[in-house]
């Protein structure tokens, strides 16, 4: 698969954005760090990484990114992991920190609901990519729990019966980190199903 003509933005305000950059480069696409609204211009998709959602929320407002991110996500693909998922969600339960979400995917989440940092763990995830089963490792680090899934949301993977990988329209969101490993299975799914047109997707899947 050749993604050399694709430029992927990575929200680089805080968090583990460098690990996402490494995987993007491994798949042959170009990377652009996004810190200001102008950085969204001309990119094909955006990744919102894990990190600290309260800090990221503050910085999104400080750099004037809230409206541009919402506009971008309405027309182009976004993939959010952990804190990125929190910011993409419709609603945050017990939101004492007052984090403001973008509301781009119709889910509710509970922050840090899999436990504090010391309870972090790694688990093999089995995803159903529309009939194609794939396995890869996911790192749960102060991970959010998806507590409600809207009717238009597709659940691609579960862990202990809880949704952990979901999609709606052009938005993909994971409670876990998959960028900690060299395995690019999940990122490849995002590229193929969200970036390519239908003819290209069919050609790649048919081999």
Give pLDDT tens digits along the chain (207 positions): 679 999 999 999 998 899 999 999 999 999 999 999 999 999 999 999 998 999 999 999 999 999 999 999 999 999 999 999 999 999 999 888 889 999 999 999 998 766 566 667 788 999 999 999 999 999 888 889 999 999 999 999 999 999 999 999 999 999 999 888 889 999 999 999 998 764 444 444 444
pTM for this model (two decimals):
0.91
What per-residue confidence (pLDDT) applies to 178? Answer: 87
Question: Which tokens hold the place of 6?
Answer: 């694709």
What per-residue confidence (pLDDT) applies to 202? Answer: 44
What per-residue confidence (pLDDT) applies to 115? Answer: 59
Catalytic residue among 21, 82, 167, 188: 82
What per-residue confidence (pLDDT) applies to 203? Answer: 47
**Domains plus CATH for the chain?**
7-205 (3.40.50.880)
177 catalytic? Reply is yes
Phi and psi at 179, nearest 5°, equal: -85, -5
181 catalytic? Reply is no
20 catalytic? Reply is no
| 3-state DSSP percent of the chain in helix, strand and coil, to 5 | 30, 35, 35
CB atoms within 10 A of CB 74: 13
Catalytic residue among 20, 21, 167, 179: 179
Single out the residue of 133, 135, 129, 131 nearest to residue 194, CA to CA.
129
Distance CA 15, CA 38 (A): 21
Provide the pairing of β-strand 7-11 with 162-168.
Answer: unpaired
Catalytic residue among 20, 21, 167, 177: 177
What per-residue confidence (pLDDT) applies to 182? Answer: 84
What per-residue confidence (pLDDT) applies to 113? Answer: 62
pLDDT digit string, tens, across residues 13-34: 998 899 999 999 999 999 999 9
Burial of 157 (0-12, 13-18, 19+ CB in 10 A): buried
């Amino acid at each position: 698969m050749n993604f050399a003509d694709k430029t992927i933005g990575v929200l680089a305000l805080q968090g583990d954005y460098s690990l996402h950059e490494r995987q993007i480069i491994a798949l042959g696409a170009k990377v652009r760090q996004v810190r200001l609204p102008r950085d969204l211009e001309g990119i094909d998709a955006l990744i919102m990484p894990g990190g600290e959602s309260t800090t990221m929320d503050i910085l999104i407002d400080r750099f004037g990114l809230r409206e541009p991110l919402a506009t971008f996500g309405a027309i182009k693909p976004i993939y959010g992991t952990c804190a990125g998922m929190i910011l993409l969600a419709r609603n945050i339960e017990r939101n004492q920190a007052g984090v403001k979400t973008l509301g781009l995917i119709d889910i509710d989440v509970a922050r840090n609901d899999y436990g504090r940092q010391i309870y972090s763990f790694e688990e093999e995830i089995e995803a159903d990519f529309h009939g194609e089963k794939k396995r890869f490792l996911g790192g749960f680090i102060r991970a959010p729990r998806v507590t409600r899934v809207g009717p238009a949301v597709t659940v691609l993977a579960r862990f202990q019966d809880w949704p952990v990988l979901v999609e709606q329209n052009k938005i993909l969101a994971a409670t876990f980190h998959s960028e900690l490993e060299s395995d690019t299975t999940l990122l490849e799914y995002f590229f193929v199903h969200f970036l390519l047109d239908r003819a290209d997707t069919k050609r790649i899947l048919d081999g």
